[in-house]
């Protein structure tokens, strides 16, 4: 969980459904921001705005960690589902990736660009890991596990000749050969679990109603 101590005045902006509890003195208001861009991006159109003084407890939607990113007139890019909370001073915008990056990065066609000064909290599925990259240094992460980055990245396809052409097409279609190559300077965050893979693993254990 995330416990936030709020001074009088500033607000934090949270994903709906994440507020667990709060003390007296805290005020909550919701906003509904509709635009045609939201229709295309599938982005959330509602926010919970939480204002002090007091304390608020928030929880992530998934089974994973919460990471703080302290921003000083800087920029981060994150997968669309990673957003949890941000403080005032940070602006968020949805931007389209190229088709290759959208298919291979695991983040989808649209990602969130965050700019400004403040603290951004992201949620992950599983434990959070990170890699600091020196200028020119590259690091490869499977597309299912990428969370956020502030460095250059490209999507690459792993070549193989052991599965046959049919096997290659099958793997390519499922994304098993897509890897994200991040190049420094900068940092990349990634998670230890994939929600999609976890869903496939747990599906056989979920009872289904018989017709």
> What is residue 162's predicted lDDT score, i.e. its pLDDT?
52
> What is residue 199's predicted lDDT score, i.e. its pLDDT?
86
Span 60-205 CATH architecture: 4-Layer Sandwich (3.60)
H or E element, residue 125: none
Distance of alpha carbon 74 from alpha carbon 199, whole angstroms: 35
Distance of alpha carbon 106 from alpha carbon 176, whole angstroms: 11
> What is residue 81's predicted lDDT score, i.e. its pLDDT?
87
For the chain (211 residues), the mean pLDDT of every run of 10, in chain order, is: 94 93 94 52 69 96 94 95 95 70 49 96 96 97 92 79 49 61 97 87 84 48
> What is residue 132's predicted lDDT score, i.e. its pLDDT?
99
> What is residue 11's predicted lDDT score, i.e. its pLDDT?
94
**Strand, coil or helix: 119:** strand
pLDDT digits (tens, 9 = 90+) for 18-74: 999 999 999 999 866 554 444 444 455 578 999 999 999 999 998 999 999 999 999
Cβ pair 12, 50 in contact under 8 A = yes
> What is residue 40's predicted lDDT score, i.e. its pLDDT?
46
> What is residue 163's predicted lDDT score, i.e. its pLDDT?
52
How many Cα neighbours within 13 Å face the side chain of 115? 4
């Amino acid at each position: 969980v995330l416990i936030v101590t709020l001074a009088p005045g500033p607000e934090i902006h949270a994903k709906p459904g994440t507020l667990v509890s709060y003390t007296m003195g805290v005020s909550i208001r919701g906003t509904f921001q509709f635009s045609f861009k939201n229709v295309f991006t599938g982005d959330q159109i509602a926010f919970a705005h939480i204002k002090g003084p007091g304390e608020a407890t928030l929880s992530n939607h998934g089974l994973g960690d919460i990471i703080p990113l302290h921003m000083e007139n800087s920029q981060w890019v994150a997968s669309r589902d990673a957003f949890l909370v941000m403080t005032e001073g940070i602006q968020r915008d949805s931007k389209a990736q190229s088709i290759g990056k959208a298919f291979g990065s695991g983040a989808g066609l649209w990602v969130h660009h965050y700019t400004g000064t403040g603290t951004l909290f992201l949620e992950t599925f599983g434990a959070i890991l990170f890699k600091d990259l020196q200028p020119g240094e590259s690091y490869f992460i499977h597309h299912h596990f990428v969370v956020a980055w502030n460095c250059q990245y490209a999507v690459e396809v792993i070549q193989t000749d052991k599965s046959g052409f049919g096997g290659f097409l099958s793997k390519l279609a499922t994304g098993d050969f897509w890897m994200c190559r991040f190049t420094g300077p900068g940092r990349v965050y990634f998670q230890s679990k994939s929600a999609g893979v976890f869903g496939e693993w747990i599906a056989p254990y979920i009872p289904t109603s018989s017709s």
